[in-house]
Amino acid sequence: MPDKKKYFVVREKAVPEVLLKVVEAKRLLDTRRVATVQEAADQVGISRSSFYKYKDDIFPFRDNVKGKTLTFVMQMCDEQGLLSEVLHIVADYKANILTIHQSIPTNGVATLTLSVEVLPATGDVSAMIEAIEHREGIQYLKIVARE
Protein backbone atom coordinates (compact mmCIF):
# COMPACT_ATOMS: atom_id res chain seq x y z
CA MET A 1 0.00 0.00 0.00
CA PRO A 2 1.47 3.41 -0.93
CA ASP A 3 2.53 5.70 1.88
CA LYS A 4 -0.04 8.50 1.91
CA LYS A 5 0.96 11.79 3.43
CA LYS A 6 -1.58 13.71 5.43
CA TYR A 7 -1.11 17.36 6.21
CA PHE A 8 -2.63 19.35 9.01
CA VAL A 9 -2.76 23.06 9.64
CA VAL A 10 -2.54 23.77 13.36
CA ARG A 11 -2.11 26.93 15.34
CA GLU A 12 1.33 27.52 16.84
CA LYS A 13 0.01 27.12 20.38
CA ALA A 14 -0.93 23.49 19.59
CA VAL A 15 2.51 22.53 18.27
CA PRO A 16 4.87 20.77 20.72
CA GLU A 17 7.85 22.85 21.77
CA VAL A 18 10.39 20.48 20.20
CA LEU A 19 8.83 21.00 16.77
CA LEU A 20 8.91 24.77 17.14
CA LYS A 21 12.58 24.49 18.04
CA VAL A 22 13.22 22.41 14.91
CA VAL A 23 11.64 25.18 12.83
CA GLU A 24 13.85 27.75 14.56
CA ALA A 25 16.95 25.60 14.00
CA LYS A 26 16.09 25.32 10.30
CA ARG A 27 15.72 29.10 10.13
CA LEU A 28 19.13 29.57 11.74
CA LEU A 29 20.67 27.26 9.16
CA ASP A 30 18.81 28.85 6.23
CA THR A 31 19.88 32.35 7.23
CA ARG A 32 23.44 31.13 7.84
CA ARG A 33 23.47 32.40 11.41
CA VAL A 34 24.98 29.03 12.26
CA ALA A 35 27.15 26.77 10.14
CA THR A 36 26.20 23.31 11.39
CA VAL A 37 23.19 21.37 12.56
CA GLN A 38 24.94 20.84 15.90
CA GLU A 39 25.30 24.61 16.39
CA ALA A 40 21.65 25.17 15.49
CA ALA A 41 20.47 22.39 17.81
CA ASP A 42 22.62 23.71 20.66
CA GLN A 43 21.36 27.25 20.18
CA VAL A 44 17.67 26.30 20.30
CA GLY A 45 18.08 23.66 22.99
CA ILE A 46 17.32 20.38 21.24
CA SER A 47 19.38 17.31 20.38
CA ARG A 48 20.74 16.76 16.91
CA SER A 49 18.72 13.56 16.71
CA SER A 50 15.49 15.50 17.41
CA PHE A 51 16.37 17.88 14.61
CA TYR A 52 16.95 15.06 12.13
CA LYS A 53 13.87 13.17 13.30
CA TYR A 54 11.50 16.06 12.55
CA LYS A 55 13.28 18.34 10.04
CA ASP A 56 11.35 17.05 7.01
CA ASP A 57 8.00 16.98 8.77
CA ILE A 58 7.58 20.55 9.99
CA PHE A 59 7.89 23.85 8.23
CA PRO A 60 6.29 27.26 8.54
CA PHE A 61 2.98 27.44 6.71
CA ARG A 62 4.28 30.02 4.24
CA ASP A 63 7.09 27.76 3.02
CA ASN A 64 4.76 25.36 1.31
CA VAL A 65 2.05 27.49 -0.27
CA LYS A 66 3.69 29.48 -3.07
CA GLY A 67 1.84 28.73 -6.30
CA LYS A 68 -1.13 27.31 -4.39
CA THR A 69 -4.69 28.45 -3.93
CA LEU A 70 -5.96 28.92 -0.40
CA THR A 71 -9.66 29.02 0.33
CA PHE A 72 -10.82 30.25 3.65
CA VAL A 73 -14.15 30.95 5.24
CA MET A 74 -14.77 33.69 7.71
CA GLN A 75 -17.66 35.13 9.61
CA MET A 76 -17.61 38.87 9.76
CA CYS A 77 -19.74 41.65 11.16
CA ASP A 78 -21.92 43.47 8.69
CA GLU A 79 -19.94 46.72 8.88
CA GLN A 80 -19.45 49.20 6.09
CA GLY A 81 -15.96 48.89 4.63
CA LEU A 82 -14.95 45.69 6.45
CA LEU A 83 -14.90 43.56 3.29
CA SER A 84 -12.85 46.26 1.59
CA GLU A 85 -10.34 46.19 4.45
CA VAL A 86 -10.00 42.40 4.22
CA LEU A 87 -9.41 42.61 0.47
CA HIS A 88 -6.90 45.41 1.03
CA ILE A 89 -4.92 43.17 3.41
CA VAL A 90 -4.77 40.48 0.71
CA ALA A 91 -3.60 43.09 -1.80
CA ASP A 92 -0.98 44.43 0.61
CA TYR A 93 0.54 40.93 0.81
CA LYS A 94 0.49 40.73 -3.01
CA ALA A 95 -1.77 37.69 -3.21
CA ASN A 96 -4.26 37.34 -6.05
CA ILE A 97 -7.96 37.15 -5.21
CA LEU A 98 -9.61 34.47 -7.35
CA THR A 99 -13.14 34.24 -5.95
CA ILE A 100 -15.27 36.02 -3.39
CA HIS A 101 -18.61 34.82 -2.14
CA GLN A 102 -20.39 36.65 0.64
CA SER A 103 -23.72 35.58 2.08
CA ILE A 104 -26.48 37.99 2.86
CA PRO A 105 -25.89 39.09 6.47
CA THR A 106 -28.10 37.47 9.06
CA ASN A 107 -28.31 38.99 12.53
CA GLY A 108 -25.49 41.37 11.57
CA VAL A 109 -23.06 38.60 10.52
CA ALA A 110 -22.07 37.57 6.99
CA THR A 111 -20.14 34.52 5.88
CA LEU A 112 -17.39 35.15 3.36
CA THR A 113 -15.61 32.52 1.31
CA LEU A 114 -12.42 33.80 -0.27
CA SER A 115 -10.05 31.96 -2.61
CA VAL A 116 -6.60 33.49 -2.89
CA GLU A 117 -3.74 32.53 -5.19
CA VAL A 118 -0.39 32.68 -3.42
CA LEU A 119 2.13 34.12 -5.87
CA PRO A 120 5.94 34.09 -5.75
CA ALA A 121 5.78 37.77 -4.75
CA THR A 122 3.27 37.12 -1.96
CA GLY A 123 4.58 37.97 1.48
CA ASP A 124 4.29 35.87 4.63
CA VAL A 125 0.97 34.05 4.21
CA SER A 126 0.72 33.27 7.92
CA ALA A 127 1.05 36.97 8.69
CA MET A 128 -1.59 37.81 6.06
CA ILE A 129 -4.07 35.36 7.58
CA GLU A 130 -3.27 36.59 11.07
CA ALA A 131 -3.79 40.21 9.99
CA ILE A 132 -7.22 39.31 8.62
CA GLU A 133 -8.11 37.21 11.64
CA HIS A 134 -7.19 39.97 14.09
CA ARG A 135 -9.05 42.67 12.20
CA GLU A 136 -11.87 44.05 14.35
CA GLY A 137 -15.16 42.68 13.06
CA ILE A 138 -13.78 39.29 11.98
CA GLN A 139 -15.39 36.73 14.27
CA TYR A 140 -14.02 33.51 12.79
CA LEU A 141 -11.55 32.43 10.12
CA LYS A 142 -10.79 28.90 8.95
CA ILE A 143 -8.68 27.63 6.05
CA VAL A 144 -10.86 25.07 4.30
CA ALA A 145 -8.74 24.16 1.26
CA ARG A 146 -5.23 24.32 -0.10
CA GLU A 147 -4.85 23.29 -3.71
Predicted confidence at residue 84, as pLDDT, reads 96
Predicted confidence at residue 39, as pLDDT, reads 95
Q: Is residue 138 scored above 70 in pLDDT?
A: yes
Q: Is residue 18 scored above 80 in pLDDT?
A: yes
User: Which residue has better confidence, 67 or 25?
Assistant: 25
Domain ranges of the chain: 12-59, 64-146
64-146: which CATH architecture? 2-Layer Sandwich (3.30)
Which of the four pLDDT bands, split at 50, 70 and 90, describes residue 4? low
The answer to whether the beta carbons of residues 147 and 69 sit under 8 Å apart is yes
The answer to whether the beta carbons of residues 92 and 135 sit under 8 Å apart is no
Which of the four pLDDT bands, split at 50, 70 and 90, describes residue 73? very high
- Strands across the sheet containing 96-102: 96-102, 109-117, 69-77, 138-146
The answer to whether the beta carbons of residues 125 and 69 sit under 8 Å apart is no
Contacts of 142 (CB under 8 A, 6+ apart): 72, 73, 74
**Three-class SS state of 48:** helix
Predicted confidence at residue 87, as pLDDT, reads 96
